[in-house]
Amino acid sequence: MKKTKKAASFFVGMFLLIVAWQAVVTIGKYEEALLPGPLSVMQAFIGMTLDGSLFLHLKDSLFRFGAGYLAAAVPAVLAGILLGRSNRIWAIIDPVVQVLRPISPVAWSPFIVLWFGIGNMPAIAVIFIAAFFPILLATVNGVRNVDEHYLKIAANLQFNKLAVLKKIIFPAALPAIISGLHIAIGTAWIFLVAGEMIGAQSGLGYLIVDARNTLDLDIVLAGIATIGICGFLLDRFIAFGEFLLKKYSGFLL
């Protein structure tokens, strides 16, 4: 029943968005060349689906996203656990992280293109930068906030360092780590498009730029809609993974 209500709310929300969109086009008397309506965008979406071009761009985008996100997540979690356990080292690293973290990954694009050229790597590098810092900081905060009573119990039981990490620190920090992974997936997906706009010859970001250059705004909006839908699905996927990890983490450790 609860899932049915959520699904109904989703479709109602999407319907209202489309109605508002059409109302803006109608009331504002925008020409199709300036602001295509929902029907024109749907036709462009169906056309790209039928000729397979949309799936080719989406496949490349998902590959870059997966590669960049995983390349960031694994070292960020490992580094966060180690840095969270060392107050002295973290006191040195923290200012560096706080200086680098606010810099937009796109700001590094001139260097990224020079270092990696064009193709997949610039977008992967941008995604890596976008995802790394949220995961790192969330992991460090999760480890540093582990209740000291658990650590004292582990010391009394003479746990070695590996056992402490596995049985105490990681399970206690897991909610914070998952939260960081959840935040990073949205951030990385946003910057995927920016990364593809600066160095790729395919993907959803490239599709939007190419369509803009030819003034095919219906294709631009179809690409934007695809990005939004995929972002929503990725968020739901990570939320489901978060649910499974929290439910079965006790059996996995």
Q: Give me the pLDDT at residue 78, please.
A: 92
Q: How confident is the model at residue 252 (pLDDT cuts 50, 70, 90)?
A: very low
Residues 210-220: what's their mean pLDDT? Answer: 88
Residue 214 has pLDDT above 60, yes or no: yes
Instruction: State the Cα–Cα distance between residues 209 and 198, nearest whole angstrom.
Output: 10
Task: Yes or no: say if 95 and 153 are a contact pair by the CB < 8 Å rule.
Answer: no
Q: What is the DSSP letter of 104?
A: -
Q: Give me the pLDDT at residue 155, please.
A: 67
CATH topology of domain 36-252: MetI-like fold (1.10.3720)
- Ranking 47-51, 174-178, 234-238 by mean pLDDT, the lowest is 234-238
Contacts of 58 (CB under 8 A, 6+ apart): 204, 226, 230
pLDDT in tens, 94-110: 999 999 988 888 888 88
pLDDT in tens, 53-88: 899 999 999 999 999 999 999 999 999 988 988 888
Q: Give me the pLDDT at residue 28, please.
A: 80
Q: How confident is the model at residue 146 (pLDDT cuts 50, 70, 90)?
A: confident
Does this model's pTM top 0.85? My answer is no
Instruction: State the Cα–Cα distance between residues 128 and 191, nearest whole angstrom.
Output: 10
Burial class (CB in 10 A: 0-12, 13-18, 19+), 159: middle
Instruction: State the Cα–Cα distance between residues 115 and 121, nearest whole angstrom.
Output: 9
**HSE toward the beta carbon, residue 209, CA cutoff 13 A:** 15
Residues 190-212: what's their mean pLDDT? Answer: 83
Residue 246 has pLDDT above 80, yes or no: no
Record the tokens describing residue 52, joined without a space.
Answer: 């397979």
Instruction: State the Cα–Cα distance between residues 147 and 141, nearest whole angstrom.
Output: 12
Contacts of 48 (CB under 8 A, 6+ apart): 54, 219, 222
Residue 226 has pLDDT above 50, yes or no: yes
Q: Give me the pLDDT at residue 1, please.
A: 62
Q: What percent of the chain has pLDDT over 90?
A: 21
- Ranking 15-19, 117-121, 160-164, 246-250 by mean pLDDT, the lowest is 246-250
Record the tokens describing residue 115, joined without a space.
Answer: 């270092």
Q: Give me the pLDDT at residue 232, please.
A: 86
Instruction: State the Cα–Cα distance between residues 45 and 225, nearest whole angstrom.
Output: 9
Task: Yes or no: say if 56 and 202 are a contact pair by the CB < 8 Å rule.
Answer: yes
Instruction: State the Cα–Cα distance between residues 22 and 69, nearest whole angstrom.
Output: 36
Outline where DSSP puts E strands in 11-107: none
Other C-beta atoms closer than 10 Å to the C-beta of 15 total 10
